[in-house]
Amino acid sequence: MAPRQKILLLGATGETGASILNGLLASNQFDVEILVRPSSAEKPAVQELKTRGVALRVADITAPEEELVSALAGIDILISAIGPNDLLQQKTLVRAAKSAGVKRFVPCAFITVAPPKGVMLLRDEKEEIYNEIKRLEVPYTVIDVGFWHQISIPPLPSGRIDYALMMPEAVIHGDGNAPNLLTDLRDIGRFVARIVDDERTLNRYVYTWSDVLSENEIFELVEEGSGEKIERKYETAQQIEKRLEDALAALSLDPTDPAKRMQVYIVQYVHSKYVRGDNQPRYAKYLGYLDARELYPDLKPVSFRESFVEVLEGKGKRPYY
């Protein structure tokens, strides 16, 4: 029997990282360790992971390459779920992965399907890392997941599901007809556990999904499930474009302000998903992505409807809280 592959996960305490860790552990296919910064090693969230039997490696990813090479000793697969403000810090990690002979690097992707440059600043920074990977010929897999169910549910007039919503606002963008790839946050890890153990996905891009739904379809589904009628507000494509222009102008005045940057990220998601219509299977295939559902037809992801019913039943969980 081949030895189990050893995976090192960076960002395990974030939302995406936690899903990945759960998926990897549940698969029972890998030896999983997590990489944490010295400043985080004693945090309760990290300590709690230790109680689940996950070994820690402590290293500062801004450290010199040699130090990171040591931290990567014996690792087969390196998965990064680093936060959006630290993406470019992965550069040294790419070089270290090359030197350490890592067999597959999964850089922090895990967003919607979008083109390489010029549409989403968040995607542009990820692209810098993908380009560094390609320059060094590091074996890699890029995994994008569409948008999470958990942040795609509109609020109900009764307020009874607000407990589970991150930004409750019943807004339909553009005409509401743009289809979007959706994945339950909890399924990211289940998909990742399959994808990283698959030769077919080496040096490829893969997207995951359970549903492809427009906002109009989501609103109808939520009304049907809840029996409540949601009053629609609309933001037109022109209004979104204006909002994007304003956010970019504000950021250009103060390029290092993380709040202004985050505002750009948020508006660009809206613009990419609903005005450009990027986050859908046709465009993903055009861009060269493999479809994780075609690769793993036996994997039954949690549907948007199932996820919504859980929220209705009080079993939801607000992300980032």
Alpha-carbon distance values, 207 to 14, 145, 204 (Å): 20, 5, 10
Interface with a copy of itself includes 248 (CB under 8 A)? Answer: no
Interface with a copy of itself includes 115 (CB under 8 A)? Answer: yes
Backbone φ and ψ of 40, nearest 5°: -105, -10
Stretch that binds a copy of itself, among 45-53, 117-125, 164-172, 256-264 (CB under 8 A): 117-125
Number of other residues whose CB lies within 10 A of the CB of residue 244:
19
Please give the structure tokens belonging to residue 28. 């029972």
Q: Which of 25, 119, 151, 299 binds a copy of itself (CB under 8 A)?
A: 119
| In the complex, least distance from residue 196 CB atom to a copy of itself, rounded to whole angstroms | 18
Q: Which of 4, 43, 134, 315 binds a copy of itself (CB under 8 A)?
A: 134
- Closer to a copy of itself by Cβ: residue 132 or 184: 132
Q: Which of 5, 25, 58, 283 binds a copy of itself (CB under 8 A)?
A: 283
Alpha-carbon distance values, 54 to 10, 24, 29, 46, 122 (Å): 13, 11, 14, 10, 30
Stretch that binds a copy of itself, among 23-31, 72-80, 113-121, 236-244 (CB under 8 A): 113-121
Interface with a copy of itself includes 255 (CB under 8 A)? Answer: no
Active-site residue, selected from the candidate residues 6, 98, 117, 126: 126
Number of other residues whose CB lies within 10 A of the CB of residue 280:
21
Q: Are strands 30-36 and 5-10 parallel, antiparallel or unpaired?
A: parallel
Stretch that binds a copy of itself, among 18-26, 27-35, 285-293, 302-310 (CB under 8 A): 285-293
Q: Which of residues 173-212 bind a copy of itself (CB under 8 A)?
A: 203-204
Distance from C-alpha of 108 to C-alpha of 127, rounded to nearest angstrom: 10
Interface with a copy of itself includes 241 (CB under 8 A)? Answer: no
Please give the structure tokens belonging to residue 7. 């995976």
Interface with a copy of itself includes 118 (CB under 8 A)? Answer: yes
Backbone φ and ψ of 153, nearest 5°: -95, 125
Interface with a copy of itself includes 125 (CB under 8 A)? Answer: no
Judged by phi (left if over 0) then psi (alpha if -120 to 50, else beta), residue 159 lies in left
Question: At which residue do the structure tokens 């690097």 appear?
Answer: 105
| In the complex, least distance from residue 117 CB atom to a copy of itself, rounded to whole angstroms | 4
Q: Which of residues 286-315 bind a copy of itself (CB under 8 A)?
A: 286-288
Please give the structure tokens belonging to residue 249. 């102008």
Q: Could you confirm whether 126 is annotated as catalytic?
A: yes
Spatial CA neighbour of 178 closest among 213, 208, 230 = 213
Spatial CA neighbour of 76 closest among 105, 108, 37 = 105
Active site positions, annotated: 126
Binding site for a copy of itself (CB under 8 A): 115-119, 131-132, 134-135, 137, 203-204, 283, 286-288
